[in-house]
């Protein structure tokens, strides 16, 4: 079993044919706050072009050109920018998608 958070254990069971079952053990479920908000932060890097970063923000988040360019400039000049906010699951998915496009992104509790 892999411990992900205190008092939350998730085990993965693989079956023939590739299907997977997830079992959760929530001993102290009342200690978990699923309503917390998380932010996705994109960090500046020396590799990606500013036009590419703008394109990624438009493509992934559906931002208009003006908003995407503003966020890109924040990343470029301030070193980082918050590009999305939501549940932890949504934030983790957004980070994964940004990584697939080669951008450096992390999540942080809001």
Domain ranges of the chain: 2-31, 38-109
**CATH code of the domain made up of 38-109:** 3.30.1390.10
User: Parallel, antiparallel, or unpaired for β 38-43 and 104-109?
Assistant: antiparallel
* Segment 35-62, tens digit of pLDDT: 799 999 999 999 999 999 999 999 999 9
Comparing CA positions, the residue from 101, 60, 66, 65 lying closest to residue 84 is 60
pTM of the full structure: 0.70
d(C-alpha 26, C-alpha 5), whole Å: 10
d(C-alpha 32, C-alpha 19), whole Å: 28
Contacts of 15 (CB under 8 A, 6+ apart): 21
């Amino acid at each position: 079993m892999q411990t992900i958070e205190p008092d939350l254990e998730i085990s993965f069971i693989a079956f023939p044919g590739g299907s997977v079952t997830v079992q959760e053990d929530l001993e102290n479920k009342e200690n978990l706050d699923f309503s917390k908000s998380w932010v996705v932060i994109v960090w500046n890097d020396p590799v990606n072009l500013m036009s590419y970063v703008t394109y990624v923000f438009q493509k992934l988040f559906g931002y208009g050109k003006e908003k995407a360019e503003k966020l890109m400039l924040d990343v470029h000049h301030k070193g980082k920018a918050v590009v999305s906010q939501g549940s932890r699951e949504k934030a983790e998915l957004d980070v994964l998608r940004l990584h697939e496009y080669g951008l450096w992104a992390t999540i942080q509790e809001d």
